[in-house]
Amino acid sequence: MMSGQFCISAFAGINNERIIRNGGIISDVNATSFDGLMDAAYGSMSLAYPKFHKMDSLSKLGFMTSEYLLMNNSSLETIDKTKVGLVISNKSSSLDTDLKYHNMLMKGIASPAVFVYTLPNILIGEICIRNKFKGESVFFITDTYNISNQVSYINLLLNSGILEACIGGWVELMKDSYKSFLYLVTKGDSGPEKEFKEDNLLKMFNQI
Amino acid sequence: MTDTVLLTGLGIISAVGTNVSESIDSFRQHRSGIRPCRYLGTIHKDVFPLGEVQLSNSELAAMHGLDSRLSRTILLSFHAAVAAFNTIPDQKGRLYKKGFISGSSVGGMDRTELFFEDFTKDKLTGDLREVINHDCGKPTDFVAEKLGFTDFISTVSTACSSSANSIMLGTRLIKAGKLDIVIAGGVDSLTKFTLNGFNSLMIVDKEQCRPLDESRVGLNLGEGAAYVVLMSDKVAKELGVEAYCSISGYANTNDSFHQTALSNDGNGPFLAMEAALKMSKLLPSQIDYINMHGTGTQNNDMAEGKAVERIFHPIYPKLSSTKSFTGHTLGASGAVEAVFSAIAIKEGVLFPNFHYENQMADLNIVPVTKFTKDQKIDNVLSNSFGFGGNCTALIFSKVN
Amino acid sequence: MQNLKVQIVDQLNLKDIKPEDIGDDQPLFVEGLGLDSIDALELIVLLQQHYGIKLTKAEEGPEVFRSVTSMAKYITANKK
């Protein structure tokens, strides 16, 4: 399959206590802090997924963004879950949680529940556990969001048939500063504005 | 674009040696690198044996004219990467596109935790220069720049499968014609952070670990770095280098079961091994040796063992876990074990488990227990499974 | 025991559950509370942090953490 036959079938992002989904703001979720936003979003979606409360901030951010991304999206229904994967990047890795864990260690507490999240790819694991995705996944650490490299990587996975759908994006969180952007790439043609290419993704990223 | 990617050079440092020949020697002499803690300043010093590289930061730095206050992660990475780099002959003025891909879970954590001890007691103390290199990406950038491998630099952070994924990415980039020569691998150094963390999960053995043994109770943590040189057969011919082997198959899957434990039947590992075999077009019976992920935890060895049996039943290849000698080197493990896999093919040797007595209940597999020479090893499968369900299988094959 | 329930809910981040909803003899590790192996390890940390008890043998875990009642009994017997 040549490139040009993949489309961005959905995107979502969270930034500055605001949730964007496919270009529109989710208006029924309001909060004045990150924690408040996560709780409000969880409540508004009536998720009934208690594991959410045990996640660290980075995983909550990625997980919640993926819930909005995949909400009411039927494109994955007919796709074999071993062919759905994720390619995600960020700058700070799991540093926010690393520091929290370290602070607890200094107080003599080695918390296994916090330690578990001192790796950025655990957020990929959480999304996969939730959705039973079994395809290839990878997490890259880069200074800034390199959309071009990510597009090349995902094109390779789709063109080679390793995946039939892929979630890509940037999930970054460090103390009070956070921004997430996730998009879903599937086969098909939904018009030029949704074609899976760098400039379309950049437009969407800038809407977050 | 090319189909054949060759592995032409190696660099490695771990508890079993500071270079390739020292490492092989440790296996030949059945000398495990798991020892009482010597360098890491931890309260668990007398409790947990570790796979420490037997060089202090000062010694490592002095070997390469580097600043001894650099993160141990940078020092180890540089040591192994330079060894790999030195296997590349003079390019005779040809301009090749070169990439450096490194996987790590710890980054510069070793220096950061030193900073924090001072900082926590008194916010006016602590040298901020200690935390400059904390980011996972900093060791990669540092080494890439020193080697002049700057056309493509990338850091993979997928826990214990990081460096296996680095090798997979390097292979893909060469196949796609984006790069000509890649140094790919990974590094992790021991930190109190990691030791305390794994201990809180109660999966660390207070004795020498016993992977694939029914009586196993956990892993031993280790540290190290390893890098392989990858290039297309065309570039290898131009440079006149011989290959250890080719990268004939690879796959990555997600187990999607739990953040830190594998599913009981080892589904993620099974799917990864199956896909890697499919890519390599090899039958299970053509695999001569499996370098198991084999951490020594109850969960991993059972899940991986079950997955191996699902694929290879009823005739199992020779297999072992070299982590019984090196400890679990975390982000470096995929590349450390890729080096052993390449050597297995080139030298025709089988690596053993260090200590094995009891077959795992419900399983048929039994590891190699003695270093063996003069073996015909044409195809090796190497497994690396990371927290977050990230499962990678690499297949290395002899070239004619 | 009510105090212990509050500590459990707090330590394990069980935000959807109220302490009073946990039965004294209700099995802790079944579907209802959604507890897993990491939660078991966190309960070990709880024993150490709040009661100074060090549980070092993972095998003892299932019996000690079977229910709030069994936890309370263990704490009374081993509290420092």
Catalytic residue (choose from B37, B328, B355, B391): B328
Q: pTM of this prediction?
A: 0.93
Q: Which of residues 10-69 of A touch B (CB under 8 A)?
A: none
What's the average model confidence in pLDDT over B63-67?
96
Cα distance between residue A141 and residue B4, in whole Å = 28
Express as a percent the part of chain A with pLDDT over 90: 86
| HEC assignment per residue over B206-271 | CCCCCCCCCCCCCECEECEEEEEEEEEHHHHHHHCCCCCEEEEEEEEEECCCCCCCCCCCCHHHHH
* 8-state DSSP, B17: B
B30 flagged as catalytic: no
Q: Which residues of A touch B268 (CB under 8 A)?
A: 134
Query: Which A positions 66-85 lie with beta carbon below 8 A of chain B?
Result: 82, 85
Kindly determine whether residue B135 and residue A117, on different chains, have CB atoms separated by under 8 Å. Answer: no
pLDDT computed for residue A101 by the predictor: 93
Residue-level pLDDT at B30: 98
Is B370 in CB contact (< 8 Å) with chain C?
no
Per-residue pLDDT of B350-366, as tens digits, reads 999 999 999 999 999 99
Cα A18 to the chain's mean position, in Å?
Answer: 15
How far is C26 from chain B, CA to nearest CA, in Å? 24
State the nearest Cα–Cα gap between A115 and chain C, in angstroms. 10
Domains of chain B: 5-239 (3.40.47.10), 248-397 (3.40.47.10)
For residue A45, CA distances in Å to A52, A72, B100 come to 12, 12, 43
- Taking residues B374-395, report their average pLDDT: 96
What's the rounded Cα separation, in Å, for the pair B129 and B124? 14
pLDDT (tens digit per residue) in B234-256: 999 999 999 999 999 999 999 99
Q: What pLDDT was estimated at residue B138? A: 82
pLDDT at A108 (0 to 100): 86
* Type and span of the H or E element at B379: strand B379-386
Q: Does C49 touch chain B (CB under 8 A)?
A: no
Subunit partners of chain A (3 or more CB pairs within 8 A): B, C
| Structure confidence at residue A1 (pLDDT) | 44
- Amino acid type, B217: V
The predicted pLDDT at position B98 comes to: 97
**Of B40-54, B174-188, B271-285, minimum mean pLDDT range:** B40-54
Please list, residue by residue across B199-232, b when 16 or more beta carbons sit within 10 angstroms of its beta carbon and e when fewer do: bbbbbbbeebbbbbbbebbbbbbbbbbbbbbbbb
Angle (deg, nearest 10), helices B72-85 and B137-147: 40
Identify the structural domains of chain A with CATH numbers, from first to last.
6-207 (3.40.47.10)
Mean pLDDT score of chain B, rounded to an integer?
94
Residues of C within 8 A of A50 (CB-CB) are 14-17, 34
Q: How many angstroms separate the CA of residue C69 from the nearest CA in chain A?
A: 23
Mean pLDDT, rounded, for B26-54? 93
* pLDDT for B17 beyond 50: yes
- B254:A122 CB<8 A: no
Whole-number Å distance between alpha carbons of B204 and B195: 9
Whether A4 shows a pLDDT value over 70: the answer reads no
Say which of A93, A103, A156 has its CB closest to residue B172. Answer: A156
Inter-chain touch C34–A51, beta carbons under 8 Å: yes
Whether residues B200 and C58 touch (CB distance < 8 A) is answered with no
Contact C41 B261 (CB under 8 A): no
- Poorest-pLDDT segment among A138-147, B191-200, C59-68: C59-68
Q: Return the pLDDT at B262.
A: 95
Is the per-residue pLDDT at B112 higher than 90? no
A70 by DSSP, 3-state: which? helix
pLDDT tens digit sequence for A100-121: 998 898 888 889 999 999 999 9
| Residue ranges covered by each domain of chain C | 2-14+22-78
Peptide bond preceding B314 in cis form (omega within 30 of 0): yes
Nearest residue to B350 via CA among B327, B389, B321, B316: B321
Q: Residue A192: name the closest of A2, A1, A6 by CA.
A: A6
B chain contacts of residue C41, beta-carbon cutoff 8 Å: 200-202
d(CA B56, CA A185): 48
Q: Each residue of B125-172: pLDDT tens digit? A: 666 666 666 667 888 999 999 999 999 999 999 999 999 999 999 999
Tell me whether residue B293 is one of the annotated catalytic residues. yes
The pLDDT score that the predictor gives to residue B361 is 94
What mean pLDDT comes out for the span A71-86? 94
What is the DSSP annotation of B140-182? HHHHHHHHT--SEEEEE--GGGHHHHHHHHHHHHHHTTS-SEE
Judged by average pLDDT, the poorest of A75-84, B86-95, B107-116 is: B107-116
What pLDDT was estimated at residue C15? 82
- The model's pLDDT over C24-37, given as tens digits with 9 standing for 90+, comes to 888 888 665 778 88
Which of A131, A133, A136 is nearest residue B252 as measured by Cβ atoms? A136
**Helix segments in chain A, DSSP class H:** 34-44, 57-70, 95-106, 112-115, 122-131, 147-159, 198-207
Quick one: closest CA in B to C41, which residue?
A: B201
- For the segment A153-185, what is each residue's pLDDT rounded down to a tens digit? 999 999 999 999 999 999 999 999 999 999 999
Q: Please give the single-letter amino acid code of residue B21.
A: S
Q: pLDDT category, C63, cuts 50, 70, 90?
A: confident
Dist. CA B53–CA B34, nearest whole Å: 10
User: Do B224 and B331 form a contact (C-beta atoms < 8 A)?
Assistant: no
Tell me the per-residue pLDDT of C46-56, one tens digit each, with 9 for 90 and over. 998 899 998 87
Overall fold of domain C2-14+22-78: 1.10.1200
For A19-29, the pLDDT digits (tens) are 999 999 998 88
Handedness of CA B15, B18, B22, B23 (dihedral sign): positive
Q: What pLDDT sits at residue B206? A: 96
